[in-house]
Amino acid sequence: MMAPVAEFRSACSTEEAVTWLAELGADGCVLAGGTDVMMQYARHELGPAAFVHIEGIEELAGVGRDGVVRIGALVTHRRLAEDAALRTSNPALADAAATVGGWQTQSVGTLGGNLCNGSPAADSAPPLLVADATVELQSRAGIRRVPLEEFFLGRRRVDRRPEELLTAVEVEPLGSRQAEVYLKVGRRGAMVVAVVGLAARLSFDARGAIAAARVALCSAAPTPLRVRSVEQALVGLDAALPGWQDATSPSLRDGIDALMHAVSPIGDLRSSEAYRRAVLPGLLARAIEICRARAGVGVPEG
Amino acid sequence: MTVAVGRSVARSDGEAKVRGVADYGVDVVLPGMCHGALWRAPVPSARVVSIDAEAARRVPGVLAVLTGADVENRPTGISLCDQPLFAWPLVRYEGEPVAAVAAETVEALEESLGLLRVELAETPAVADLASALAPDAPLVHPDWASYASLSGAQWPRERNVVCELFSDTGGVDQAFSSAAHVVEDTYRADRQYQASLEPHVAVAEYGAGRFTLHVAHQFPFNVRDRVASALGVRPSEVRVVGHHIGGGFGAKLDVSLEPYAALLARAVGRPVRMENGRSEDLMTAQCRENAVVTIRSALSESGELLACDFDVVFDSGAYAIDAPYLASMPMFAVGSIYRVGQARVRCRAVYTNSSPTGAFRGVSGTYLVFAVERHLDHIARELGLDRRELRLRHLRRSGEKMLNGQTLADADILRECFDRAEELAPFSSLGKGPYRGVGMAACVWLTNPLAGSAVVKLNEDGTVGLVTAATDNGSGAVTMGLRQIAAEELGVDALDVVISMPDTDVSGYDAGSQGSRTTRVVGMAVKAAAERVRERALAVAADHLEISPADLELAAGSVQVRGAPSRRLQLAEVAKLAAAHGGPITGAGSYSTPMPAYAPTCATGLLFPVFPTPTYHLHVAEVEVDPSTGNVRVLRYIVVQEVGRVVNPTGVVGQIQGGVAQGLGYALWEWLALEGGRYRQRTFESYGLPLSVDVPRVEVVTLEHPDPESPYGAKGVAEPPVVPVAAAVANAVSDAIGAEINCIPILPEAVLDALASQDGAGARGVHLSRGGAGAEAGGA
Ligand SMILES: Cc1cc2nc3c(=O)[nH]c(=O)nc-3n(C[C@H](O)[C@H](O)[C@H](O)COP(=O)(O)OP(=O)(O)OC[C@H]3O[C@@H](n4cnc5c(N)ncnc54)[C@H](O)[C@@H]3O)c2cc1C
């Protein structure tokens, strides 16, 4: 039997969108760029009574700055990759955005959609997690703010009620003597869903040793996740010492051990579980190396 | 000086394709057209217990439901007649057609397919090559012994082995027993999907006792013959009209949807359109086959190859298709480029309960050359020899024979390939630096000799019409090559050569777009046809100008007096004069390449005995391996290719670049794995084609040794560039990591495993390549 054709409503304001969402409840489906939704609809994975199209809501498409960086839900990956100010304040997010699908996907796919879709492979999640992101959810009942770490509940499950619209994500910009990076593993140079992804934001002390670390992953567990045990293990690591990346160097090895404990990757069509585990140590080491170079600490050649 | 040949003449269909107005197979719409689709088996091995089509037939808008019970269902094929139209009563692969439905709308069609009740009793599947060869294996075709071959030819086959080739020069075992070194390797390759952007599509109509099929097909005459035999009618009762092809690469050489569209059209009395969905297309495309190749070589102390034992088992899938022919291919992979001493070759094509495999650009050459060239690198490593030197020492010379007894008259071109590559980039200078490596691979390839024909006519406005059933599958062989040859012969601008689309009612026979044959074989036919037109045009003009034809020439759209070009007649005038004096000017030409001599007793099961019009190829790849991820980046790619004569520089380079891209996909990214006879990858999300960001600029050196038997010396160009790519890349990757990579595709996981085993005791060291780049999958 053919699924009944869904109604299409295009909202002009947040107000209008949340009114409709309240009215529709579980029968409504938010439609932003549609790069996830339309594929799921075509595969009959969802059959909403109505789509609430939100791309026309201008107030959700801005980037603001007031101590924290506030990124509207409708900001596209292409904008995240290209925006000069964002590239400075949140370079790992720009790294990640530039790896999402291809040019076309980046041009219509939105940050809000990437998070609300709840994929364990969402590329924007690790960089947002290391920036201590908070998501803002709005409904007719008011505004609810949820730390991103608590927003992800499970595979394809997020802490958003059907009547809520994700309006913005607030993130910490990079501080001084901090650097961050997002590394994504995939077989091709573009158009790949992450086999695993790793973001690191590292603070260095004056000597160039790691003073504080934040590390987050995607495609390594049922949800994107922060790995605090790894973060603790990395503190004090002096990546300026020769041979630091040698697996016998205490902190890196502890970091890797913690990493391997924290993850629970699966095997699927993209990769085996063993491969996902096998690439993680190298990714962590490389992330540290790149952060050091980006922070400009202790790099002889600059 | 030439006016057209050797120039980058633009393709005649280029603008229409770029503007999106070219008429592809998927664009065909006929008045009153309805839609057809297949109910395909969801399991690889089963017995059809019953089909209840009542509910499916009752859906409003459904016009016909056909099953194996409604048709004669006679088995047909292009080699062995083993394939019925419908799985009835046996299902032999997942995706096999069980029923065909026609309906007014796509929606009604889908609903009807959903309501078809097919009761299947699953049977144990012959899931892979090893189980197919097991002595107690279930038979994919319990009736195998009763099948007839299309040509009447017989060949060794038994149970699940659909063809066995065997060849032995003698002396192999003695050579092994006295050899200083023996090196043995086993290589594996998975399947590859042709992945043309346009899926299989067919529109059929039936009226006045004849079928007309609109297709985007590489081989319209094969569609005619295959549809006729499946439906039990004479070939002349089937007309096949070709449209622009959105890619074929071999997947559109055999029939796919066409017989079903024809059946449905006859059943409903209206035109029926069928189109594969992407997953359907992938699952039934007759992909390049998976295979296992074992090579054992006997060597002297100094590394001279004394003997070779070469064993191939490949997967034909559920039906023979062209596998009995492909079983001969090892005869052209072993002992063709390099002398191997005494040789024993065995190749078995095996039935399994998986989707049938078939033709794909380069066919089995890709993995056979991979095996041969990887093995040479392994030998060099074992014996501490230089890899290039080892090859040069064994390189065939002109006048030497391949294992089939065919003489390679011009094999010295091989040495030239190696020399030219060395001039461009010395082999020993490449692949330097951590995790970098270089590899090379060579091959000889054929130009398909099968028949073609053309009619050339001088139009009344002085332009030239070219009528042929040769198809342009995107390569430009017709829209550039044949037009250029006609233009050159008749001294007109190539833009003034108007070509027809293929139509089996209109044109003479053509053996299809395969094996790089069109420019050479059909080019000969065009040349012969154009010569007739030229003779007649000169004669007509000579009469009119009252001068001997010998004093006339064709140039710049005119017939002119040699040495006095101002005395001339425009071709338009010549055409009009001719009409009044003996009739319009047309010429016909036909050609097929004579078969080279070979030794028929060299093997049993040798159905594809020769490599006519051989060309020679050397590829060099330089790669960098990311030691953290096992991903491979191709830094540099060099092709030295013998082409006979460059007819169109843009076309030649384009075909070589495209072939290399396809070969890189095969080597590194495209993965079509079977599990229990079923494909794991079923969409472009999991089946990863190479992207522009992954493919390097390909450096192309063409060698020109014109073939006196060819139009302007041109030999086949377009098929072979895919053949040695996986071999060159795998050698480069093995060089980069110092470990043998023996499977295609080269999965990052295998690279990491090989690296880990290098570290000893499987220690998971942290590998960092210099500069820290590589893992960042840069977007656009
Ligand atoms: C070819 C292709 C390649 C891709 N590659 C990648 C990749 O490399 N990495 C990656 O992470 N993703 C990838 N994706 C997935 C997708 O593009 C991203 O997740 C994208 O960010 C989704 O954004 P969207 O605006 O298109 O979301 P939609 O498809 O419109 O929505 C996604 C989900 O979020 C909900 N939603 C959207 N916006 C809101 C909101 N403001 N409030 C509440 N709910 C909302 C929708 O209801 C839906 O459930 C790819 C997709 C395609 C088609």
pLDDT tens digits for range A159-191: 999 999 999 999 999 999 999 999 999 999 999
Give me the pLDDT at residue B764, please.
42
Residue A1 in domain = no
The phi-psi region of residue B159 (left if phi > 0; otherwise alpha if psi is between -120 and 50; otherwise beta) is left
pLDDT tens digits for range B308-363: 999 999 999 999 999 999 999 999 999 999 999 999 999 999 999 999 999 999 99
CATH number of the domain encompassing residue A269? 3.30.390.50
Give me the pLDDT at residue B451, please.
98
Give me the pLDDT at residue B757, please.
87
Q: Residue ranges per domain, chain B?
A: 14-21+449-591, 291-447+599-759
Residues A62, A36 share a domain: no
**A50-63 b/e with 16+ CB inside 10 Å = b?**
bbbbbbebeebbeb
The phi-psi region of residue B218 (left if phi > 0; otherwise alpha if psi is between -120 and 50; otherwise beta) is alpha
Give me the interface pTM, i.e. the ipTM.
Answer: 0.93
Q: Which protein residues touch ligand 1 with a CB less than 6 Å away?
A: A 29-37, 39, 54, 73, 99-101, 105, 108-110, 112-114, 116-117, 121-123, 160, 165-166, 193
Residue B268's SS3 state is helix
Residues A85, A29 share a domain: no
Total count of domains within chain A: 3
Give the list of residues 6+ apart from residue A66 with CB closer than 8 angstroms, or none: none
Q: Which of B686, B768, B780 sits opposite A289 (nearest CB)?
A: B768
Q: How far apart are CA B509 and CA B517, in angstroms?
A: 14
pLDDT tens digits for range B260-271: 999 999 999 999
- A260 vs chain B: nearest CA distance in angstroms? 12
B291-447+599-759 CATH: 3.30.365.10
Q: Give, in order, the Cα–Cα distances in Å from B752 to each of B386, B449, B627.
A: 26, 44, 7
The residue out of A139, A154, A171 marking a domain boundary is A171
Q: How far apart are CA A50 and CA A43, in angstroms?
A: 17
**What is the strand order of the sheet B497-499 is part of?**
B497-499, B464-467, B452-458, B586-591
pLDDT tens digits for range B2-12: 889 999 999 99
Query: What's the domain range around A48?
Result: 7-53
From the list A280, A100, A125, A97, the residue with the least C-alpha distance to A196 is A280
Give me the pLDDT at residue A247, please.
60
Residue A23 has pLDDT above 90, yes or no: yes
Residues A200, A141 share a domain: no
Give me the pLDDT at residue B664, please.
98
Give me the pLDDT at residue B422, please.
98
| Continuous segment of H or E residues that includes residue B638 | strand B632-642
- What single DSSP character describes residue B338? B
Residues A184, A271 share a domain: yes
A269, B772: Cβ pair inside 8 Å?
Answer: no
Residue B585's SS3 state is coil
Q: Give, in order, the Cα–Cα distances in Å from B392 to each of A12, A241, B43, B304, B339.
A: 72, 48, 50, 11, 10
Residue A11's SS3 state is coil
Measured between beta carbons, the chain B residues lying within 8 angstroms of A288 are none
Q: Are B595 and B447 in contact (CB under 8 A)?
A: no
Q: Are B502 and B496 in contact (CB under 8 A)?
A: no
Residue A257 has pLDDT above 50, yes or no: yes
A271, B627: Cβ pair inside 8 Å?
Answer: no
Determine which residue's CA is closest to atom 31 belonging to ligand 1. Answer: A113
Question: What are the φ and ψ backbone dihedral angles of B758, each rounded to 5 degrees?
Answer: -65, -40
Give me the pLDDT at residue A297, please.
81
pLDDT tens digits for range A204-235: 998 889 999 999 999 999 999 999 999 999 99
Average model confidence (pLDDT) across chain B: 95
Give the list of residues 6+ apart from residue A280 with CB closer than 8 angstroms, or none: A196, A198, A217, A220, A256, A259, A260, A263
CA of A107 to the centre of ligand 1 (A): 11
From the list B270, B621, B561, the residue with the least C-alpha distance to B437 is B621
Q: How far apart are CA A144 and CA B234, in angstroms?
A: 75
Give me the pLDDT at residue B2, please.
81
**B338-352 b/e with 16+ CB inside 10 Å = b?**
bbbbbbbbbbbbbbb
Q: Are B474 and B250 in contact (CB under 8 A)?
A: no
**Given this structure, which CATH class describes domain B14-21+449-591?**
alpha beta
More confident residue, B382 or A240: B382
A188, B690: Cβ pair inside 8 Å?
Answer: yes
For residue B685, give the chain A residue with the closest CA.
A192
Q: How far apart are CA A72 and CA A74, in angstroms?
A: 5
Percent of chain A with pLDDT over 90: 88
From the list A114, A104, A216, the residue with the least C-alpha distance to A169 is A114
Determine which residue's CA is closest to atom 32 belonging to ligand 1. Answer: A113
Give me the pLDDT at residue B771, please.
35
Token pair, residue A254, equals 């502890």
Which of A9, A35, A161 most suits a substitution to test ligand 1, by most atoms within 8 Å of the C-beta? Answer: A35
Q: Give, in order, the Cα–Cα distances in Å from B327 to each of A206, B126, B314, B511.
A: 69, 20, 8, 21
- What single DSSP character describes residue B355? P
Measured between beta carbons, the chain B residues lying within 8 angstroms of A246 are 766
The residue out of A37, A53, A69 marking a domain boundary is A53
Give me the pLDDT at residue A13, please.
97
Looking at residues B367-375, what average pLDDT do you find?
98
Looking at residues B215-229, what average pLDDT do you find?
98
Q: How far apart are CA B440 and CA A166, in angstroms?
A: 55
Measured between beta carbons, the chain A residues lying within 8 angstroms of B631 are 185, 187
pLDDT tens digits for range A24-45: 999 999 999 999 999 999 989 9
Q: Are B618 and B411 in contact (CB under 8 A)?
A: no
From the list B293, B268, B194, B200, the residue with the least C-alpha distance to B666 is B194
Residues A156, A195 share a domain: no
Residue A301 in domain = no
Give the list of residues 6+ apart from residue B349 with CB closer than 8 angstroms, or none: B161, B162, B163, B164, B314, B315, B316, B320, B323, B324, B326, B327
Residue given tokens 């991903």 in the structure block: B631
Q: Are B722 and B660 in contact (CB under 8 A)?
A: yes
Chains A & B: contacts with CB separation below 8 Å: 114
Give me the pLDDT at residue B267, please.
97
Question: What are the φ and ψ backbone dihedral angles of B458, each rounded to 5 degrees?
Answer: -90, 115
Residues A20, A112 share a domain: no
Residues A160, A190 share a domain: no
Question: What are the φ and ψ backbone dihedral angles of B719, each rounded to 5 degrees?
Answer: -75, -50
Number of CB atoms found within 10 A of residue B567's CB? 15
Query: CA B553 from chain center: how many Å?
Result: 40
From the list A85, A76, A81, the residue with the least C-alpha distance to A108 is A76
| Continuous segment of H or E residues that includes residue A283 | helix A273-295
Give the list of residues 6+ apart from residue A58 with CB closer than 8 angstroms, or none: none
Give me the pLDDT at residue B408, please.
98
Give me the pLDDT at residue A248, please.
65
Confidence of residue B534 (pLDDT cuts 50, 70, 90): very high
Confidence of residue B776 (pLDDT cuts 50, 70, 90): very low
Burial status of residue B770 (CB atoms within 10 A of its CB: 0-12, 13-18, 19 or more): exposed
From the list B278, B250, B191, B294, the residue with the least C-alpha distance to B677 is B191
Q: Are B606 and B328 in contact (CB under 8 A)?
A: yes
Residue B553 has pLDDT above 70, yes or no: yes
Residues A193, A121 share a domain: no
pLDDT tens digits for range B654-710: 999 999 999 999 999 999 999 999 999 999 999 999 999 999 999 999 999 999 999
Residue A55 has pLDDT above 90, yes or no: yes
Confidence of residue B762 (pLDDT cuts 50, 70, 90): very low
Measured between beta carbons, the chain B residues lying within 8 angstroms of A252 are 766
Determine which residue's CA is closest to atom 8 belonging to ligand 1. Answer: A100
- A116 vs chain B: nearest CA distance in angstroms? 21
Residues A216, A138 share a domain: no
Best of A103, A275, A289, A299 to disrupt the B interface (most B CBs within 10 Å) is: A275
Residue A256 in domain = yes
Measured between beta carbons, the chain B residues lying within 8 angstroms of A106 are 779-780
A189 part of contact set with chain B, CB < 8 Å: yes
Residue A79 in domain = yes
Confidence of residue B779 (pLDDT cuts 50, 70, 90): very low
Give me the pLDDT at residue B772, please.
34
Token pair, residue B436, equals 């970098």
Token pair, residue B364, equals 């089995």
B669, A106: Cβ pair inside 8 Å?
Answer: no
